[in-house]
Structure 1
Amino acid sequence: MSDKASLSKSPISWHTAFKVYGERATLRMLALGFSAGLPLLLVLGSLSFWLREAGVDRSTIGYLSWVGLAYAFKWVWAPLVDRVPLPGLTRWLGRRRSWLLLSQLGIAAGLAGMAVTDPSVALKPMVWCALAVAFCSATQDIALDAYRIESADVDRQAALAAAYQTGYRLAMIWAGAGVLWIAARAEVANAATYQAGAWQTAYLVMAASMLSGIVTVLVSTEPQPAPRAPARNAAEWLQTALFDPFADFFRRYKMQAVLILALIATYRISDVVMGIMANPFYVDMGYTKDEVAAVTKVFGVVMTLVGTFIGGVLSMRLGVMRVLMLGAVLSAASNLLFAWLGGHGHDVQALVLVVSADNLAGGIASAAFIAYLSSLTSISYTATQYALFSSVMLLLPKWLAGFSGVAVDHYGYASFFTGTALLGVPVLLLITLAGRLAPAPSAALPESASKSIAS
């Protein structure tokens, strides 16, 4: 939703803005956000720490980050998640929750598969299991984004996005700091530096952690689906499932669609490209698993919660575009702190400063960005359109991130982090241009969906 649209009606009171965080739909989104955020680092960031300890070189680690491209191509099967019922499950749970449950079970199985492999002995089985986790995680995202958007009216999307991001970030702390802490505790004293068994224990715990999302899906309510006329034949089904969602977006936004897609494609580029090398950086700088886990868990959690909460409230109060700009500036600037840390040397207090600033910036940016993406979707095509947006968001950054190890090998960490900060500069121009154009508001949610926020 644009700032102009936000200013066209009376501002929401501070009391109302804060009260929404205690509603049931918001609390459900907190738990489901945790389920969505758990797999990401386990196939990217935390996995890179494991791989680096196992002796895998930085260039290979960078290329293996292309596993994350599964998230960038989820629009390909999003129409199936949006339209195709699952035998037995859909009748029992409904369209959104059935796909959520199936994907969550797949994630848990994939993580268990990763846990019983050792990349120092055979890397290929690890890669296949990681691909399975990424595919199931992307599928969960498709269903969950639709579930979130259909569960509340437009005014509450920023709050749901903030709750989702809070759960998502908490899961990333658990999958980042938590997995390091567990692996450190599982190590045998006076043994070799790399111990595969410690990492295997940690990943089994992560697989079990998916129970939080599974239980939430089972006890949640299914949002009222948008009414759809049944397709008369296969050609009509393909038309409504594959072509219409994309045509609807371009029909509503016309030439503005190109600008919107450019902004979506580059908004998180600084964070994504930098993030792949963060854990190898910690290893090469001599930080222990306990040090990284303690700093990320204590200061990262606090600052992430603060940033996400601020981003959600400010988006409701001031408008999404203003907070998008703030988040873009802070995200790029926080990468410069990593460049400074690279020259500063091993210093836990400096690591606290850098991690805290990075998590604060990421929380603010993510809450506003998700609210922005949600405002662009039509209620008739929530799953497919949101999958398109989030896929566009990841495609270019994930592709560039694959070369991050090569860049570090050639130029060093300080130059690499500085370069990732500069990648965020064009984003500021795109936000400025997008803010001056008022996109058409997304289609209104049905009355039953708006009422379900309080259920």
Structure 2
Amino acid sequence: MTNKTFKEAILNKRMLICITTGFSSGLPLYLLIQFVPAWLRSADIDLSTIGLINLVLFPYTWKFLWSPVMDRFVLPFFGRRRGWMFVTQIMLITLMSALSLFDPATELTHIILIVSAISFFSASQDIVIDAYRREILPDDELGAGNAFYAQAYRLSSFVPGSLAMILAGFFPWSVAHLSIAVFMLVGLITTLLIKESSKPGDEPQTLRIAVIEPFKEFFQRDGWQQAVWMLLFLILYKLGDSMATALETPFFMDMGFSTVEIGSIAKISKTIGATVGTILGGLAMIKLGINRSLWIFGVFQLISILGYVLLSIVGYNHLVLAIASGFEYLGVGLGSVALIAYMAKSTNKNFTATQFALFSSIAVIPRTFVSATTGFIIESFGYTQFFIICFFCALPGMLMLLKIAPWNSKPEEPGRIERTS
């Protein structure tokens, strides 16, 4: 690390911004994938319907379509990045609070409309926060900054997945909804206090440049065939664990666990597993490189699904719940850190915002569209067979590593995200 001590690189305002914006990014997503399914299941909404509601997450898959618009146009207040942050966060606070006004048993259509809007503004917030983070971090702080961001993103799940779940065990669900919305103030206050990262004139001068150039560079870099192979890999690598975790909260409830037990035992175990996986993964990648990490972490990610197979057989057991959920998210953490590093390496620094929006959008396709079918699969085959299916669905992504990331390829340069065409 040049001209900077390790302490200076870690203990600075930029790292704090990465933490608070990471928390703000993760909170709406975990509301949608952890809290809302439990809320609906408590009202006896069937699993097929809950699974289909995952389709409202489609903005995370298609956000690259409007990321050039947010890159091109500057709002008349707060600046190019902060202006869009402010708008998306105000809308999220309003919409998340509005959920407290509806009853799933009688007003499911209204709820679907609101969670769809939350999904759109959450994905939009991610676009601008990703761009802001890349602009404020010097190259020698990219690793640390993104690690802090990822950890805060995951830790935000404690609010809808633990705190709010516990509150729902003692108070009306409306109180739990409002408690989640209050925590979005972390992001809003951050937006009001930070400085703008973009200077006037930095934005693309035409919408055509903002839209065309990032995609043109990516598909011409190594040929369109290689680009298609990479996008297919992004879909398949985490397919198995995305399916396995899509309806895990209703799964825990159907095994007999209360919302308080889920919010304490399962949530703590999952957070510990994901945190350990991310930290160990980040350290191991220094020696292993990205390609070998994709192989080794992918194996952990694959095997970890079997923990849910065991829980589905054993049923109501606190120890098995803790072990299965912790082991599953150890694999999730390892696989995620490797995949994010791969996407970063494959991003041209000149087009970071739009290209990373494209890559991350493609990577969440399993969570959005494939996971929508999980309710039907569970009701047709049962939980044990479902998780076995998830295990086999994870195999194609591993096999693609033979082409995408050969084991004996030349080691990558640590911390590098640029890639020449």
TM-score normalized with structure 2 length:
0.91
Q: Which of 226, 243, 247 is 1:277 aligned to?
A: 247
Structure 2 match to 1:50? 39
Change (3 A) 1:227 1:427: farther
Change (3 A) 1:86 1:40: same
Structure 2 match to 1:87? 76
Q: Which of 221, 225, 233 is 2:195 aligned to?
A: 221
Change (3 A) 1:277 1:28: same
Q: Which of 202, 205, 211 is 1:242 aligned to?
A: 211
Quick one: which amino acid aligns to residue 190 of structure 2?
T
1:389-441 deviations in Å (ceiling 9; x for gaps):
11111224421111110000000001111111211111112233222367997
Aligned residues: 413
Q: Distance in 2 between matches of 1:60 and 1:44?
A: 14
Q: Distance in 2 between matches of 1:18 and 1:353?
A: 35
User: How many angstroms does 1:223 deviate by?
Assistant: 3.1
1:19-75 deviations in Å (ceiling 9; x for gaps):
854343233212211111111121222211111110111111111110111210111
Structure 2 match to 1:194? none
Shifted more, 345-354 versus 144-153: the winner is: 144-153
Q: Distance in 1 between matches of 2:285 and 2:120?
A: 31
Quick one: which amino acid aligns to residue 338 of structure 2?
A
SS in 1 for 2:160: helix
Matches within 5 A, 1:26-425: 26-90=15-79, 95-186=80-171, 198-224=172-198, 231=205, 237-254=206-223, 255-425=225-395
Contact 2:72 2:207 in 1 (8 A): no
Q: Distance in 1 between matches of 2:332 and 2:170?
A: 29
Quick one: which amino acid aligns to residue 127 of structure 1?
I
SS in 2 for 1:87: coil
User: How many angstroms does 1:224 deviate by?
Assistant: 4.9
Structure 2 match to 1:7? none
Change (3 A) 1:442 1:360: closer
Shifted more, 310-319 versus 16-25: the winner is: 16-25
1:74-97 deviations in Å (ceiling 9; x for gaps):
11111111111112232xxxx222
Q: Distance in 2 between matches of 1:361 and 1:225?
A: 40
User: How many angstroms does 1:171 deviate by?
Assistant: 0.8
User: How many angstroms does 1:155 deviate by?
Assistant: 4.8
Change (3 A) 1:217 1:324: farther
1:281-319 deviations in Å (ceiling 9; x for gaps):
111111001111111343333332222222222234432
Change (3 A) 1:368 1:160: farther
User: Sequence identity of aligned pairs in percent?
Assistant: 31
Change (3 A) 1:228 1:31: closer
Change (3 A) 1:161 1:365: farther
Change (3 A) 1:132 1:307: same
Structure 2 match to 1:453? none
Structure 2 residue runs without a partner (length 5+): none
Quick one: which amino acid aligns to residue 306 of structure 1?
V
Q: Larger RCO: Structure 1 or Structure 2 (Cα < 8 Å, ≥ 6 residues apart)?
A: 1
SS in 2 for 1:342: helix
Q: Distance in 2 between matches of 1:295 and 1:339?
A: 18
Change (3 A) 1:21 1:434: farther
Q: Distance in 1 between matches of 2:259 and 2:384?
A: 22
User: How many angstroms does 1:340 deviate by?
Assistant: 1.0
Contact 1:38 1:171 in 2 (8 A): yes
1:134-187 deviations in Å (ceiling 9; x for gaps):
00000011111112222334454332222111001101232212221111131x
Q: Distance in 2 between matches of 1:178 and 1:67?
A: 24
TM-score normalized with structure 1 length:
0.84
Q: Distance in 1 between matches of 2:175 and 2:58?
A: 27
Contact 2:252 2:262 in 1 (8 A): yes
SS in 2 for 1:319: helix
RMSD: 2.6
Change (3 A) 1:251 1:407: same
Quick one: which amino acid aligns to residue 182 of structure 2?
A
